[in-house]
Amino acid sequence: MSDQRYDQMLKELLTETQRSMPFPDFEDEVMNKINEIETSEELVREGYRRGITFSWIFFLIGIVFGVVLTSWIPQFDISFLGVDSANFLLIFQIGFLMFILLHFEKLITMTRARLSNRF
């Protein structure tokens, strides 16, 4: 008898907690939004891959440009803000080296992350 009463109470409890859909096509709208989000995430991933490729290209262009400037600076006798060309060349080389080291490390990290997420 207690099992029947327990089953009856459980049925009543479950019918009371049942939720109705806010409107008839609620499930379809939720699924459409999920599909839109997945599509936009795929576009973001593709843009990220393309961005890393362009980052490498412009990084290499920057290295070439920096090497050319490093070789041309000693040829010009430039006095910039009271700093002679030898000191200016040293400052430029230190800045160029910092640029290369910081950006190269970041590009390597981003490329490894991209390659490890590729299935």
Half-sphere exposure of 50 (CA within 13 A, CB side): 6
The Cα 89–Cα 52 span in angstroms is: 31
Q: What is the pLDDT of residue 5?
A: 85
Q: What is the pLDDT of residue 61?
A: 93
Give the predicted TM-score (pTM) of the model. 0.54
Q: What is the dihedral of CA 102, 107, 113, 114, to 10 degrees?
A: 170
Other beta carbons less than 10 A from residue 89's beta carbon: 19
The Cα 102–Cα 119 span in angstroms is: 28
Q: Is residue 30 within 8 Å of residue 22, measured between CB atoms? A: no
The CA-atom distances, in angstroms, between 11 and each of 1, 6, 16, 17 are: 15, 9, 9, 10
Per domain, the residue ranges of the chain are 28-114
Q: What is the pLDDT of residue 119?
A: 40
Q: Give me the residue label for tokens 């010009």.
A: 76
Mean pLDDT of the chain, nearest integer: 80
Other beta carbons less than 10 A from residue 118's beta carbon: 8
Walk along the chain (119 residues) in steps of 10 and give the mean pLDDT of each run: 80 75 74 83 75 87 88 73 74 87 87 72
